[in-house]
């Protein structure tokens, strides 16, 4: 029983540490400031957590510790940034 409790406690601590390690929406937007191209965005933020494409329009979504940041990309140009919480969406 003691081994099981230790394993659960350790797992919980590791999961909490991982959750805290994610950047905030503000941090992501600050890193992406003045980004104009898809290549610049990927260089600054890395690969997105979610990528959707419809014709020449793409949305790249990055998970943050306090919500999500989504970028609208047309062709090779970053057009728009938006943030969202789990319940509602708002512009930065």
Q: Which two tokens stand for residue 78?
A: 């970053």
Share of the chain above pLDDT 70, in %: 83
CATH second-level architecture of 23-90? 2-Layer Sandwich (3.30)
Task: Spell out the alpha helix ranges (H) of the chain.
Answer: 2-21, 25-31, 38-45
DSSP H/E element including 83: strand 77-84
C-beta neighbour count of 30 within 10 angstroms = 11
Distance CA 29, CA 27 (A): 6
pTM here is: 0.70
- Please state the rounded mean pLDDT for residues 36-53: 96
- More confident of the two residues 72 and 14: 72
Q: Which two tokens stand for residue 55?
A: 């014709």
pLDDT tens readout for residues 54-85: 999 999 999 999 999 999 999 999 998 889 98
- Provide the mean pLDDT of the chain: 86
Q: What pLDDT was estimated at residue 25?
A: 94
- Please state the rounded mean pLDDT for residues 12-33: 80
């Amino acid at each position: 029983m003691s081994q099981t409790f230790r394993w659960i406690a350790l797992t919980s601590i590791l999961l909490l540490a991982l959750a805290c390690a994610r950047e905030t929406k503000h941090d992501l937007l600050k890193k992406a400031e003045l980004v104009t191209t898809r290549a610049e965005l990927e260089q600054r933020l890395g690969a997105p957590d979610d990528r959707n494409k419809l014709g020449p329009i793409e949305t790249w979504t990055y998970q943050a510790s306090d919500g999500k940041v989504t970028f609208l990309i047309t062709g090779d140009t970053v057009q728009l940034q938006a943030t969202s919480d789990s319940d509602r969406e708002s512009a930065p």
